[in-house]
């Protein structure tokens, strides 16, 4: 049986996070759905049967049997805005590369449409690759905490309220501030984390006065600036431990 408990900061899996978090995680890591990988393999196999037939493969081209698999391949090719004749004219190498790139682009655009607030630099919003911080942050607990924050998958009243069907504005932080426990609240104002914030977050924002909490949160969770990333990751790691202890007590 799958657990129906809300995800926690200490959880080892994203399997119970909301779908948007999973879409974001794919964008973060530069991964694509298994289904997309399967289609790459299937279409490449079909190209090979047609362009580089070996053994008994030529006989399959002469068979008049109406294969549902063959029709599914043609439908997928059309969905990718290709035609069989165009792919054949490209030749094996170019067709294989074109199919892979088109599937990657399609998957990327589909995920971006679901996660409109994805924190990627404008120069690489359409490049399928892992986010820079995954390689820059060497401490696993910091890397994981920063990923959770960017995916809005931190344990909070926000997530707990989603599973309990509590109205959004009633998902208040247990710090008794009366504020909804959003990632902005955690990073910028929650008194639970004041000491960590004064040491790791506040010095980063001194040079950028007068912005809204949303702008500051986006700035902090972006991985454009390595020093920002390192400090925010440390903050998130400490916040994970602090919240866990406070809630338990």
Report whether pLDDT(8) > 60: no
Report whether pLDDT(249) > 80: no
Given 119, 145, 172, which residue is the final one in a domain? 119
**Confidence band for 231, pLDDT divided at 50, 70 and 90:** very high
**Stretch 70-77: mean pLDDT:** 86
Given 119, 152, 171, which residue is the final one in a domain? 119
Write the CA distances from 37 to 31, 40, 178, 189, integer angstroms: 10, 5, 46, 43
Domain count, the chain: 2
Asked if residue 137 and residue 222 are part of one domain, the reply reads yes
3-state secondary structure of 193: helix
CA gap 73, 69 in Å, rounded: 6
The per-residue pLDDT for range 90-127, each reduced to its tens digit, is 888 899 999 998 998 888 878 777 766 666 554 455 55
Asked if residue 236 and residue 145 are part of one domain, the reply reads yes
Give the bridge partners for 180, in sequence order: 172
Q: 118: how many CB neighbours lie within 10 A of its CB?
A: 17
Domain residues for the domain of 146 are 131-248
Asked if residue 139 and residue 234 are part of one domain, the reply reads yes
The residue that leads in pLDDT, 61 or 84, is 84
**Confidence band for 152, pLDDT divided at 50, 70 and 90:** confident
The number of CA neighbours under 13 Å toward the Cβ of 144 is 15
Q: Output the pLDDT for position 20.
A: 65
Given 66, 90, 119, which residue is the final one in a domain? 119
Q: Which residue in 216, 153, 158, 168 sits closest to 188, CA to CA?
A: 216
Asked if residue 141 and residue 93 are part of one domain, the reply reads no
């Amino acid at each position: 049986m799958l657990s129906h408990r809300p995800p926690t900061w200490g959880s080892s899996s994203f399997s119970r996070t909301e779908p948007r978090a999973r879409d974001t995680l794919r964008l973060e890591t530069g991964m694509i759905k298994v289904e997309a990988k399967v289609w790459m393999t299937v279409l490449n196999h079909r190209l090979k049967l047609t362009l580089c037939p070996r053994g008994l493969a030529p006989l399959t081209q002469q068979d008049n049997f109406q294969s549902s698999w063959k029709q599914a391949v043609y439908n997928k090719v059309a969905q990718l805005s290709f035609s069989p004749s165009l792919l054949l004219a490209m030749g094996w190498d170019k067709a294989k590369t074109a199919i892979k790139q088109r599937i990657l682009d399609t998957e990327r655009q589909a995920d971006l449409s679901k996660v409109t607030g994805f924190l990627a630099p404008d120069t690489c919003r359409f490049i399928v690759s892992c986010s820079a911080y995954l390689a820059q942050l060497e401490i696993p607990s910091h890397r994981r905490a920063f990923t959770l924050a960017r995916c809005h998958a931190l344990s909070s009243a926000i997530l707990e309220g989603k599973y309990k069907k509590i109205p959004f504005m009633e998902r208040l932080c247990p710090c008794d501030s009366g504020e909804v426990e959003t990632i902005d609240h955690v990073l910028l104002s929650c008194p639970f984390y004041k000491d960590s914030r004064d040491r790791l977050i506040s010095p980063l924002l001194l040079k950028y006065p007068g912005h809204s909490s949303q702008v500051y949160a986006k700035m902090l969770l972006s991985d454009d600036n390595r020093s920002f990333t390192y400090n925010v990751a440390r903050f998130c790691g400490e916040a994970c431990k602090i919240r866990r202890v406070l809630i338990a007590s």
